[in-house]
Amino acid sequence: MKQVATLFSSSILKAQLFFAFALVSSVCAVFTYGLDLYSLLFMFIGYFLYGCLGIVVAFHRYWTHQSYNTNPLLIKIFSLLGCFGGTGSPLAWANIHVNHHLYSDKEGDPHSPSISGLRIFTLNYSIKNKTEYLRHILRDPFQKILHRYYFLFLVLYGIGLFIVGGVYLTCFLFLLPATITVLMSNIVNYVGHKPTYPGSYRTFNLKDQSSNNWLWAIPSWGESWHNNHHRFPKNSTFKYKWWEFDIAGIVIQIIKYK
């Protein structure tokens, strides 16, 4: 059992290999099958499940910032969906993001564009361990299983989709949405700390370079209201002005306990 856990546990090399495989498979699938209405629909569904419900609603706003409470079973399902986004387990993801807030745009920030530029893959396991901020995750047995057997879940999910719908379904409902999720995470990390980037502006004059960006607000499910988030990291919605549309914030309003 320990050998299985070691084989499928999170690691930067395995994560990068998965992203490379997903990217190449996605490109091949698009050239082979084209992009018809069904392909785009599967791609959108996958990106919403993994990117919005998984990464944004569960990994970011629930596990990292504990900004709302909801049904425990629902957050477990969303956590599993987030794993299929290819950016690590909830524990690994939250640890990276805690470092980002603690050292925002300073040495130690795992993905500041002013320090490391635009990085294609920001899952970094060599950063400082900040588990003292993540005891709520470590107390959850299910989350520890997701972290220890992270890549096993990805493999089993891919096999399941392949059995149901072959290469087509595996690529358009899994690998292509996962690729988009990883790339969008990188885009948000980059434009979210680039005040001079097209569409960027700062509502709050903070000590870091965090910026809002209206161009990427809808594709990122509201994550690009980044300056607002750095000012109020515990808020479950990132909108501050009435016209700042936050899709993930709307989802949280629906599912959270009042």
- Sequence-distant (6+) residues with CB within 8 A of 147 are 9, 10, 89, 90, 91, 92
3-state class (DSSP) for residue 85: coil
Specify burial of residue 214 (Cβ count, 10 A radius: 0-12, 13-18, 19+).
middle
- Sequence-distant (6+) residues with CB within 8 A of 215 are 191, 198, 199, 224
pLDDT (0 to 100) of residue 203: 98
Average pLDDT, stretch 229-233?
Answer: 98
pLDDT (0 to 100) of residue 125: 54
DSSP code per residue over 169-237? HHIIIIIHHHHHHHHHHHHHHHHTT-TTSTTEE-SS--SS---EESTTTTTTTTTTBHHHHHHSTT-S-
What does the alpha-carbon distance between residue 216 and residue 212 come to, in Å, rounded to a whole number?
9
Residue predicted with more confidence, 124 or 188: 188
pLDDT in tens, 140-184: 999 999 999 999 999 999 999 999 999 999 999 999 999 999 999
Q: Which percentage of the chain shows pLDDT scores above 90?
A: 77
pLDDT in tens, 84-135: 999 889 998 998 899 999 999 998 888 888 776 666 555 555 567 787 889 9
Give which of 38, 63, 41, 42 is closest to 53, Cα–Cα.
63
- Domain residue ranges of the chain, discontinuous segments joined by +: 2-183
On the question of pLDDT at 81 being above 70, the answer is yes
pLDDT (0 to 100) of residue 4: 42
